[in-house]
Structure 1
């Protein structure tokens, strides 16, 4: 996921409004150092779910960096709230979720709450920069369903899986239809139309 040096050299958060959510002073201090090092000047520092909701309601934000705040998972709750209840354009803001623990269940929860990326602590500034640039360049479409609101969780569009269940039959039918269409097209090209006796 490493980005080229030119992309990193041109990147600057100077005009971005950044919401930071971390309940610990040390965690907040590290986030502030990283994003100010990337040029950010307009920061909304939040130590609780309530402060983050208030900041996202009162101010337009360009990106949110949210600590998962385990074990209660209040960071995930904020992201779900941001996606479902915050006003535009904040509901579309890129969200990076930070956490010291990355069991599969936390990664799934970060993905399912509407976060763009999960970043494992300790956070290296270059990793934060690369994730922010990745999100800015990727432009993943937003999905709105009954159970999920957030960026498309698929990073690649690879088509249907090979030979799994119903899709194997769908592919076979599509291949059969393509062959039939090709035969008809070939027949039309090779067989000139019949001329009537009057011509």
Structure 2
């Protein structure tokens, strides 16, 4: 993957992590990337409250938040049809990247899972991926979030479709999140 620059100066980012040190580190990294509108929340409840009242273009949250953990935070945001950040891209951070945590992050509606510790380059590449590969948003019984499939298209003609009910696919993420479309590659 070629590394391109990203224009993050108009993007509103919410960092949800209970560690003051990590919040400070993320602020520094995001500011170095050009982000100017970054806020922090120290708990899942605080992040959920902010998500209900402030529009955010990107949520970066730790899975181990006190109170409401990161998985539940994402699931609550995604499930709330009135939350202005329902379609906002989410990066879930975990210090425990075992497959069960990755599956939980995927199933709660996160766009990306990133294992701690990570390099600024790893974060930058994930941000770049979000801008280059916007996946359609799916609203289905038991799941709300970005399409978990990486290959689009119909099932092979020799196989029947495995979904019994047609999933309601929300319009493309760019149409839902005009501000996030500003996260264009320069």
TM-score (norm 1): 0.73
Number of the residue aligned with 2:43 = 48
Matched, 1:119 2:114: yes
Q: Which has the larger radius of gyration?
A: 1
Aligned to 1:156: 151
If asked which structure has higher relative contact order (CA below 8 Å, sep 6+), I would say 2
Aligned length: 161
Deviates more, 1:39-48 or 1:81-90: 81-90
Task: Please tell me whether the aligned partners of residues 114 and 150 of structure 1 are also in contact (alpha carbons under 8 angstroms).
Answer: yes
Q: Matches of residues 128-167 of structure 1 in structure 2 within 5 Å? A: 128-157=123-152, 160=155, 167=159
Gaps of 5+ in 2: 161-186
Aligned equivalent of 1:16, options 11, 14, 29? 11
How far does residue 41 in structure 1 lie from its aligned partner after superposition? 1.3
User: Structure 1 or 2: larger helix share?
Assistant: 1
> Is this contact kept in 2: 1:44–1:55, CA < 8 A?
no
The worse-fitting range, judged by mean Cα deviation, of 46-55 and 108-117 is: 46-55
Deviation at 1:12, TM superposition (A): 2.3
Deviation at 1:25, TM superposition (A): 1.4
2:13/2:56 contact within 8 Å kept: yes
Deviating above 2 A after TM superposition, structure 1's stretches of 4 or more consecutive aligned residues are 70-73, 86-89, 157-163
RMSD over aligned CA atoms reads 2.4
Correspondence 1:64 to 2:59: yes
Which sections of structure 1, spanning at least 5 residues, go unmatched? Answer: 171-199
**Is 1:56–1:86's contact at 8 Å kept on the other side of the alignment?**
no
For 1:47-89, what per-residue CA distance to the aligned partner results, in whole angstroms no more than 9, with x for missing partners? 0011101211121100000111179770111100110116354
**Alignment TM-score, normalising by the size of structure 2:** 0.78
Task: Point out the more displaced range, 24-33 or 14-23.
Answer: 24-33
Say yes or no: does 1:97 pair with 2:92: yes
